[in-house]
Homo-oligomer: A and B are copies of this chain.
């Protein structure tokens, strides 16, 4: 390791101690008798002060270095009430670790805003913006807290394949792939695989996998490759799954609040752990109609409806019992009214971030559901057969990582929340 300490590890108690820091030159300000250099690492920014009389002339000269240079700084910690964080570094040696040999394509301090497309073309520069860094530190917390929450509840993590021989949900919008001599596709969802794991006795499983949808839409809240956080629970029904979804969201957000305080500040976000309301679809539609929204029973929610749900019901709303016909064929119908299904969407801050259902686990019922959609049960034979071999009741859901991150960080464009997004037009870097 080049450094002895991260910036955030330096405290007033270390007054007069020698340290070695390493990071990027965030800013340099040359005054007549003093040069200030702001050094930035993943944990924060600290002031390095080169002052005639206190520092060697050569060292002060070595502080005259282009912004975004990668350097190490040996120096002494000094309490200085005038410095932003109460102390500064008096440098004894500054080393340019890898001199810059290309014009940095845009400003990272935010003084001159850059277009999103430019930032995405140069993500290795964009990640140095405090806002971008904050987004991905928060995403890391989301991933970590999702997994640990479930792991501590006895779930096993599984991995399934992203290469499939057929469309998993009978849909279009697949990316075709040449797999040696065979035609194959990128998986739209690990749905059938996680059901196989549950039927195989793994009981409660989760996974985080990329999924692919070849939709031609090019809007602010869809990507063609997304990261899906998937859950499936055996010997369970929609009540268990709905409660787990609520609890998981609330845990993730409480962890972001706890661990990413400074990142939320950088983004200007005041984040609170939501109390999720659970409301049936029919009731939601009734209220939206009363409020003058254009919606009829049987409609799927549009973006406008989702925003109205936040307005009229609150920050986190679990809408349950959707009409069967707008849901995937394997959703379990309500036993008292087969027009409704034990399915649910979680609308967080006015956007759907999760979707799920209790699944049909009775083979003959599944065949009927397939036929009712006008599909051929023969195309689903191996899937249906699994339900004839001792399949327990089960339910599940998935959360879209980038959408959840978008809603937590207050971003308006989902591309901000994928490090290397894939959309209708973007395939690199």
Q: Which residues on A are within 8 Å of B, measured CB to CB?
A: 1-3, 6, 22-25, 40-42, 68-70, 72, 97-98, 100-102, 104, 123-128, 132-133, 136-137, 139-140, 143-144, 147-148, 151, 154, 156-166, 175-180, 182, 184, 186, 192-193, 196-197, 199-204, 209-210, 212, 214, 216, 224-225, 227, 235-236, 240, 361-363, 382, 385-393, 401, 418-422, 424, 427-429
Contact = CB atoms under 8 A, between A and B. Distances in A.
Contact of A42 (B1, B203, B210, B419): B203
B159 A139 contact: yes
Given A42-B203, A202-B127, A392-B98, A157 B144 contact: yes
A240 B2 CA distance: 10
With most chain B CB atoms within 10 A of its CB, the pick from A176, A202, A204, A393 is: A202
Shortest beta-carbon contacts, A-B, top 9: A127-B200, A102-B388, A42-B203, A140-B156, A70-B390, A165-B428, A124-B196, A101-B388, A124-B199
B70 A236 contact: no
Contacts of A385: 102
B158 A137 contact: no
Nearest to A144: B151
Contact of A362 (B98, B240, B401): B98
Contact of A216 (B136, B143, B180, B419): B180
A235 B20 CA distance: 12
A162 B225 contact: yes
B137 A197 contact: no
A165 B427 CA distance: 6
A428 to B, nearest CB: 4
A389 B136 contact: no
Contacts of A204: 42
A276 B235 CA distance: 43
A186 B177 contact: yes
B162 A98 contact: no
A127 B162 contact: no
